[in-house]
Structures are given as structure tokens and as C-alpha cells.
Amino acid sequence: MKLTTKLGIAGCVAAVAAALVFFARPIYKALSPKPVEEADLTEFPVRGIDISSHNGSVDFDLAASMGFRFVIMKASEGSDFKDAAFIDNIRRAREAGLKVGVYHFFRFDADGRMQALNLLHSVRGRRLDMPLVIDLEEWGNPQVATSAVVSRLETMLAALDDASMSVMLYTNKDGYYRFVRGRFDRYPLWLCSFSEIDRSIPWTFWQYSHRGRIGDTARYIDMNIFRGDTTAWNAWVDAHPMLMQ
């Protein structure tokens, strides 16, 4: 085959590929779920944020003045990690008048009972307004068989139940269908979904965005809403007070 012919064919292939990309992009964007920039505050008036040491120093007074009602902060991870900002965060959030909850990042490869003990040790002596949250997500975890993850989670939940702790589970849609549905339905659910929410899933909290702002901070903040009005929120908080021993 002559060189000019080869170049001609290559040019045609490149042109076709470029055309496919050009025309496919708007179709893909049209069919893809649209990210949620803000939740409907008429339907869901109770907003909150969730944070860890990665968010830096959050201005909780400003958050409260912006209408946020609660903050859920990282306390621990795995069998021995404790969030470095937790003690300062919970003190300042309390001073700002926000309702406070905590979460534990669940490690797929760590013993469930040891994870429960780490969480309980991290929050001992603290007053909380919400159930302890177990953050159950594939991101940041090694690949582990579903049965092994479920077994370790069952062990952790049993240890927390033995300590008379209220618990809520956090996960995204994939995690809900892989780990939670049909196994742990009795626990309240905090669902992560950055597109339109699936109302068929029985969530209590919805993390709808990870690109929120509190003031001029350069770091994004995760944004959440409670599924209910202010009256339902007050009743829910009143039903879940915990003083950690």
C-alpha cells in the first residue's frame, strides 16, 4: 500500500473518531445524571455539613449563621486511627450551637470489634445529638469479598449494640445495594448521592454535594439535608441523645 494511501486512511479514521467524540459528548451529558448544586430547602429545610481534619479549621459560628443545623465529624477510622481535629471540632461546634454527630470510617480489612472499641474510646465523655455513624464505602478501602465485609460489620454493630449505642450507616447507592439492603435495614441510613436522590431508598440523611462552602475557605465542605421538616428534625434529635461513658 502506498504511503499516501495510508496517510489518507489514517486521516479519515482520525476525522471519524473526532466526529464521534464531538457528537457523543452532548448525548452523554444529556443522559448522565446532573449534579445537585443545592437541595430543595422548601422540602428539606434542615441542612448540615460533615467534616474531618482534611477540611481544616471550619468556622462553625458562620455555619450556624448561614442556617446550618448540624455537623457530623470524623472521630476515628479502622482499629486505631483517631482524627486529629476531632476534639477541637466538637468543642467549637458545641460553642456555635450546632447539633453534633460523629462518624467512623469503616475499614474492610480490620476486625469489627476492634473498630467498635476504637470508636467508643474516641468519643468517650462526649455528648452527642445523633447516632454514631459507620462510614461504609468502597473508596479508600482494599478489595475485600462482600461476605467478609458484612461479617466484620456485623461484629462491629453487635459490639455497639452491646454498649447500648444508637447507630446510623453511611454509604452510597452501590454500597447500599451491596452491603446494607436486606441485611441492616433496621439502622437509619445516610445516603451519599450527588445526582437526583432515589426516593425509593429509605434514607434519613442525604449527602447531596461535596462542593459546599462556608465563608471564604478554600476547601470544599460536604453538604447534607435531613429528610423531614423542622418539627420532624426536633423530634428525631430528641429521640437520639447520647452521653458517651
Nearest to 191 by CA among 181, 202, 183: 202
Residue 37 is predicted with a pLDDT of: 56
Query: pTM of the predicted model, to two decimals?
Result: 0.84
For residues 131 and 122, give the distance between their C-alpha atoms in angstroms, rounded to a whole number.
15
For residues 81 and 89, give the distance between their C-alpha atoms in angstroms, rounded to a whole number.
16
Residue 218 is predicted with a pLDDT of: 63
Residue 242 is predicted with a pLDDT of: 81
Q: Where are the domains of the chain?
A: 1-32, 47-243
Q: Which fold has domain 47-243?
A: TIM Barrel (3.20.20)
pLDDT, tens digit (0-9, with 9 covering 90-100), for 22-76: 444 443 333 334 445 567 888 999 999 999 999 999 999 999 999 999 999 999 9
For residues 45 and 41, give the distance between their C-alpha atoms in angstroms, rounded to a whole number.
4
Residue 162 is predicted with a pLDDT of: 96
Residue 8 is predicted with a pLDDT of: 56
**Positions in the chain short of pLDDT 70:** 1-38, 217-218, 245
